[in-house]
Amino acid sequence: MDRYKVYILGATGLVGQRYVQLLARHPWFEIVGMAASEKSAGKRLAETGWVLEEPPPHEVAEMRLEKLEADKVPKVDFVFSALPSEVAAKVEPELAAKGYTVLSNSSNMRMEPDVPLVIPEVNPEDLSLVEKQKAGRGWRGAVVKKPNCTTTILNLPLKPILDEWGIERVHVVTMQALSGAGYAGVPSVAIMDNIIPYIKGEEEKVVAETRKILKADFDVYVTTTRAPVLDGHLEVVYVDTKRDFGLEAVADSLERFRGLPQELKLPTAPEKPIEVRRQIDRPQPRLDRWAGRGMAVVVGRLRKLSPRKLAMVVLGHNTVRGAAGNSVLTAELMIANRF
């Protein structure tokens, strides 16, 4: 089959590099160009400070980065955006108005009612908002958002629990990886031998986005912290359910959970979007973040604290499932379902 042409905005940041990594050898997509800041424009990708665990894919390592200009983006099937939110707020709507389909990691526009905020296994039906967005804004294209990385990792296991037992409230405390703040986001002298018990804006995002994605009105209480881990957000989650549950039934429900991406056998979809670990000391970021090629969420320490009160520890790779991988999977779903 002819591959779909894609363009990457913000290709030199951590999430941008994940987009490159996931798309360069993708069976459905072909990277035809990349844009970055003025500092990196004109350089070959391999010259721009690649920091991931594998070298830049040889297919695109010699590709030169272009200056970010909406008028210069070539005609492509999808634009993947890893731009800072303040830049994305101007560029992404401009591209959508010109007819581009933009799949974005940036936080701007996530809560606007006509903007899909999608975890493909959880709320694929929200992609239908694309047509409402085009009609209401007079755009030929569209902007589709992925949630905050912490929200994505949390909402995957909440979905089967909500469907089977209902939810009254959720308490979450996170220990989030450094890569979630970007390459220069947290100074080494601030995080070494330390945990920072506050991430600006993060708690509010998790609360609002969870309500939009799950279409539920239960209470969500969140404390987010930054921990000295490179990749992998760990979340300690307490769920008050509406109906009582058996612990083995919960574990079985999580392990059996599948969504539309699994039914359609999409290339980036993990076989099991949720993996349950029975060991008492799992999940751990270093051991479990690459489950399902980084696209699965790992759940462990399942405990029934009292009737209708569940405790669990959840882990997900924040720049793969929590960021670039979620958008790539969304693009696959849009193709397969003709959104």
Q: For 45-86, what is each residue's pLDDT tens digit? A: 999 999 999 999 999 999 999 999 999 999 999 999 999 999
Give the separation between CA 317 and CA 3, rounded to whole angstroms. 27
* Statement: residue 1 has pLDDT above 70: no
* Statement: residue 39 has pLDDT above 90: no
Q: For 200-253, what is each residue's pLDDT tens digit? A: 999 999 999 999 999 989 999 999 999 999 999 999 999 999 999 999 999 999
Specify the CATH number for the domain of residue 78: 3.40.50.720
Q: Judge if 25 and 142 occupy the same domain.
A: yes
Task: Provide the strand spans (E) within the chain.
Answer: 4-9, 29-36, 66-67, 78-81, 101-104, 142-145, 167-176, 219-226, 233-241, 274-276, 297-306, 309-316
The question of whether 149 is a catalytic residue gets the answer yes
Q: Judge if 158 and 126 occupy the same domain.
A: no
Q: Judge if 243 and 281 occupy the same domain.
A: yes
User: Which of the pair, 88 or 39, is modelled with greater confidence?
Assistant: 88
Active-site residue (options: 58, 149, 171, 317): 149
The boundaries of the domain holding residue 194 are: 149-316
Q: Judge if 132 and 154 occupy the same domain.
A: no
The question of whether 58 is a catalytic residue gets the answer no
Q: Judge if 166 and 294 occupy the same domain.
A: yes
Active-site residue (options: 26, 58, 171, 233): 233
Note if the pTM is more than 0.85.
yes
Q: Judge if 42 and 118 occupy the same domain.
A: yes
* Statement: residue 38 has pLDDT above 90: no
**Binning pLDDT at 50, 70 and 90, where does residue 37 land?**
confident
Q: For 108-120, what is each residue's pLDDT tens digit? A: 999 999 999 999 9
Q: Judge if 112 and 11 occupy the same domain.
A: yes
Please state the domain count of the chain.
Answer: 2
Q: Judge if 192 and 311 occupy the same domain.
A: yes
- Torsion over CA: 69, 71, 76, 79 (sign): positive
7: helix, coil or strand? strand
Instruction: Give the mean model confidence (pLDDT) for residues 125-142.
Output: 98
Q: For 277-304, what is each residue's pLDDT tens digit? A: 999 999 999 999 999 999 999 999 999 9
* Statement: residue 339 has pLDDT above 90: no
